[in-house]
Amino acid sequence: MSPIKSPLANAVLRSIRENGKRPDSAVPMEGGGLKVATYNVHKCVGVDGRFDPDRIFEVIREISPDLIALQEADTRFGERTGLLDLKRIEAETGLVAVPVEASARAHGWHGNVLLFRDGAVRDIHREKLPGLEPRGALVTDIALNNGISLRVAAVHLGLLRWARRQQADHIIGLLGRRAEAPSVIMGDMNEWRLGDGSALKKFEAAFGSLPPARASFPARWPVLALDRIIANRDGLVADLAVHDSLLARAASDHLPLTALLDTSVLKGDSAPGDGLSAAAGL
């Protein structure tokens, strides 16, 4: 009789198997793809315990995304204070932070920052997520200069399993109450389970099959797929991969997760609007 493995051990083994299924190369897409990423920057403290925002900046520059969601980009307690040099990021990469105005000193909303290039923000919605910990979702409608409009939810879910389930339901309900639009959810989901016990099954029920898991945590030896990029359009998320460089393995305890959005699947989609729709609009 084989020994019974714990759910965590099974998740680790499955993550290792999934992590080996990386795309061999990025296939050119009709009309080009949109490079997106999500990255928990761990308050700019690396695996060596050193606070160094410059390393985070260099990792972002390595990725060269069109759109990136950051988590833990502000201090967590008291008056939240931004930890990155957003003016430098804009000057040297062209990435502009979605203006949140949560406080005078914070970069984002509950540490969530969304950076994009070549477009305009149409709508911003800040949402507190349920649970014992202070968690939030930043939902933004962005009209990009390539003619694509997206609704992006930058999120950081909680450490408690029951809270993650409530937070997933809350995010799905939030998107469903807004005008139907192509939507991408990016962030640190803090969900190591990959089977039926995963809170991410909530998103699967709403959106359909999820993109494959890619192990991104811990950075030095990634075995858990905590960071995810999912969408409400089949085939929109393509070429999903972990950005695994020597610098990324030192700069934070998470590795960044990247993807190409196949914008050709959005032909015929209308731009996000400001009206409300029924929850079935997902």
Q: Is the dihedral of CA 140, 146, 147, 148 positive or negative?
A: negative
Amino acid code (one letter) for 194: L
User: What is the per-residue pLDDT across 214-236, written as a single tens digit (0 to 9) for each?
Assistant: 999 999 999 999 999 999 999 99
Beta pairing partners, 137: 127, 155
Task: Give the strand pairing for 119-129 and 113-116.
Answer: unpaired
pLDDT at 278 over 60: no
R_g over Cα of the chain:
18
83: nearest Cα among 46, 133, 35, 130: 46
Q: Mean of the pLDDT values across residues 114-140?
A: 93
What band does 33 get if pLDDT is binned at 50, 70 and 90?
confident
Please tell me the predicted confidence (pLDDT) of residue 56.
Answer: 98
Domains and CATH numbers, the chain: 31-265 (3.60.10.10)
Work out the average pLDDT over 43-69.
Answer: 97
Q: Is the per-residue pLDDT at 67 higher than 50?
A: yes
Residue 275 has pLDDT above 50, yes or no: no
Q: For 125-134, write each residue's pLDDT tens digit.
A: 999 999 999 8
pLDDT at residue number 81: 83
| Cα 55 to Cα 61, 104, 186, 242, 252, distances in angstroms | 10, 25, 22, 17, 9
